[in-house]
Amino acid sequence: MTGDPTPNPALLPAGLHDLLAPGAEAEAALVQALMQVFALHGYDRVKPPLLEFEDGLLAGAGADMQDQTFRVMDPATHRMMGVRADMTPQVARIAATRLAAHPRPLRLSYAGQCLLVRGLGLAPDRQVAQAGIELIGADLPAADAEVVVLGAAALASVGLHRVSFDLTLPPLAPTLLDEAGITGPARQALTHALDRKDTAAVARHGGPLARLLTDLLLAAGPAGLALDVLGRAELPPASAALYARLRDTVTAIEAQAPHLRLTLDPIEFRGFRYHTGVCMTVYAPGRHEELGRGGRYTSGEAEPATGLTLFPDALLRALPAAPARPRAFLPWGAQPGVAESLRACGFATVPALGAVPDPLQEARRLRCTHILRDGAAVPLNAES
pTM greater than the 0.85 cutoff: yes
**Which residues lie across from 127 on neighbouring strands?**
115
Residue 46 domain flag: no
Residue 333 within a domain: yes
Report, as an integer, the average pLDDT of 168-181. 93
pLDDT recorded at residue 343: 95
- CB-based contact 311:160 (threshold 8 Å): no
- Residue 165 belongs to what H/E stretch? strand 164-168
Give the residue numbers spanning the domain of 357: 327-382
Give the pLDDT confidence score for residue 121 in this predicted structure.
65
In a domain, 360, yes or no: yes
pLDDT tens digits, one per residue of 321-362 = 888 899 999 999 998 899 999 999 999 999 999 999 999 999
Residue 5 pLDDT exceeds 70 = no
Whether 40 contacts 105, CB under 8 Å? no
Long-range contacts of 255-258 (CB under 8 A, 24+ apart): 255/145, 256/145, 256/149, 257/148, 257/149, 257/152
DSSP 7: P
**Cα 139 to Cα 91, 101, 192, 278, 297, distances in angstroms:** 17, 18, 30, 11, 10
β partners of residue 299? 303
Q: Is residue 331 assigned to a domain?
A: yes
358 in a domain, yes or no? yes
pLDDT at 138 over 80: yes
- The percentage of the chain sitting over the pLDDT mark of 90, rounded to a whole number, equals 76
- 268 within domain boundaries: no
Residue range 136-165: mean pLDDT, rounded: 97
- pLDDT surpassing 90 at residue 7: no
361 falls within a domain: yes
Length of the chain in terms of residues written: 384
The answer as to whether 359 is a domain residue is: yes
Total structural domains within the chain: 1
The separation between the first and the last C-alpha atoms of the chain, rounded to the nearest angstrom, is: 54
